């Protein structure tokens, strides 16, 4: 039985601006140190420490100590799904949201912003223009079906993706491991869930994409430009996310 108190406590944990900032940053799926999270949230380390202790104790985060660092990451896909759900509601076009008290949210990414819109990680899968293009291409080719409530990989899609080297068995024995996830920047769904994770893993394994240091942006490699263009008809909008 889930008590209303536990329900409220969980939501309240996400509802604090500082903690929300940390969780937002952790949505890229990586493990970050307390100091990095403190900077991201705009608070001092001691304040962040308190927040992180609460989040960990409630089971939203897991911590791994490595030397004198403590790495924090989202505890489970369920937490990521919850955060996605809140995002979806928060981004809904609702009645007159006064843009008055607009805190500087996250330190302005500046020129990196374009790279973020192009391709970035979203917990364990891809997001951005690349991810939306991949989803569109897969739907157009009849490889996956995507709806408001879920998605599915078709038999034809299974063949196609295996041909690309995507490891479909690692995820689960069934073909229903697909889930739409609303893209912040594109405002269109991309592919999340186990299939989304497998796609990202493949792109990284084959050297098509490379994670950026200290950012959730991912860069398309020269080889990736070729392979992604061929497989999904993807063409970069700009060269800003280029991998040297």
Per CB under 7 A, residues contacting DNA are 12, 16-18, 33-35, 43-53, 63, 67-70
Nearer to DNA, 52 or 135 (CB): 52
Q: How far is the C-alpha of 168 from the C-alpha of 158, rounded, in Å?
A: 8
* Least Å from the CB of residue 147 to its own copies: 4
Given candidates 28, 43, 48, 84, which one binds its own copies under the rule CB under 8 A?
A: 84
Residues 6+ apart with CB under 8 A from 168: 153, 158, 161, 162, 175, 195, 198
- Name beta bridge partners: 127: 120
Q: Which of residues 152-171 bind its own copies (CB under 8 A)?
A: 152
* Cα dist from 225 to 12, 139, 172, 190, 207, whole Å: 43, 20, 29, 19, 10
Residue 136 sits in the site that holds its own copies (CB under 8 A): no
Longest dimension (CA), the chain: 53
Q: How far is the C-alpha of 117 from the C-alpha of 149, rounded, in Å?
A: 25
Quote the tokens at residue 136.
């569109």
Q: Which of residues 214-243 bind its own copies (CB under 8 A)?
A: none
Residue 214 CB neighbours (<10 A) = 10
- Name beta bridge partners: 125: 122
Nearer to its own copies, 145 or 242 (CB): 145
7 binds, among DNA, its own copies, none (CB under 5 to 8 A by kind): its own copies
* Least Å from the CB of residue 241 to its own copies: 18
67 binds, among DNA, its own copies, none (CB under 5 to 8 A by kind): DNA
* Cα dist from 115 to 93, 173, 185, 190, whole Å: 26, 35, 12, 17
Nearer to DNA, 29 or 42 (CB): 42
Q: Which of residues 57-76 bind its own copies (CB under 8 A)?
A: 57-60, 76
Dihedral angle over CA of 160, 122, 184, 59, nearest 10:
130
Using CB under 8 A as the binding criterion, the count of chain residues that bind its own copies stands at 70
* Least Å from the CB of residue 97 to DNA: 15
C-alpha 144: how far from its chain's center? Answer: 20
Nearer to DNA, 103 or 244 (CB): 103
Nearer to DNA, 37 or 192 (CB): 37
Quote the tokens at residue 182.
């609303």
8 binds, among DNA, its own copies, none (CB under 5 to 8 A by kind): its own copies
Q: Which helix (H) or strand (E) holds 145?
A: strand 144-146
Residues lying near its own copies in the complex (CB under 8 A):
1-17, 19-21, 24, 57-60, 76-79, 81-92, 94-95, 97, 101-103, 105-106, 145-152, 172, 174-179, 184-185, 192-195
């Amino acid at each position: 039985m889930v008590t209303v108190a536990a329900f409220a406590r969980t939501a309240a944990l996400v509802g604090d601006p500082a903690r929300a900032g940390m969780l937002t940053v952790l949505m890229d799926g990586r493990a970050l140190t307390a100091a990095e999270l403190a900077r991201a949230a705009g608070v001092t380390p001691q304040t962040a420490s308190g927040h992180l202790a609460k989040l960990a104790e409630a089971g939203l985060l897991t911590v791994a100590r490595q030397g004198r660092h403590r790495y924090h990451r989202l505890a489970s896909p369920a937490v990521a799904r919850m955060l996605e759900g809140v995002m979806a509601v928060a981004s809904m076009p609702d009645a007159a949201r006064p843009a008055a008290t607009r805190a500087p949210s996250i330190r302005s990414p500046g020129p990196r912003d374009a790279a973020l819109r192009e391709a970035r990680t979203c917990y364990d899968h891809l997001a951005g223009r690349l991810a939306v293009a991949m989803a569109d291409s897969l739907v157009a080719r009849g490889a996956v079906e995507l709806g408001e409530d879920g998605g599915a990989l078709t038999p034809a899609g299974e063949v196609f993706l295996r041909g690309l080297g995507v490891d479909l068995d690692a995820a689960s024995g069934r073909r229903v491991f697909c889930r739409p996830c609303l893209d912040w920047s594109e405002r269109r769904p991309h592919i999340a869930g186990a299939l989304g994770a497998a796609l990202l893993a493949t792109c990284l394994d084959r050297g098509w994409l490379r994670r950026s240091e200290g950012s959730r942006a991912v860069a398309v490699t020269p080889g990736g430009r070729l392979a992604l263009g061929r497989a999904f008809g993807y063409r970069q909008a700009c060269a800003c996310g280029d991998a040297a």
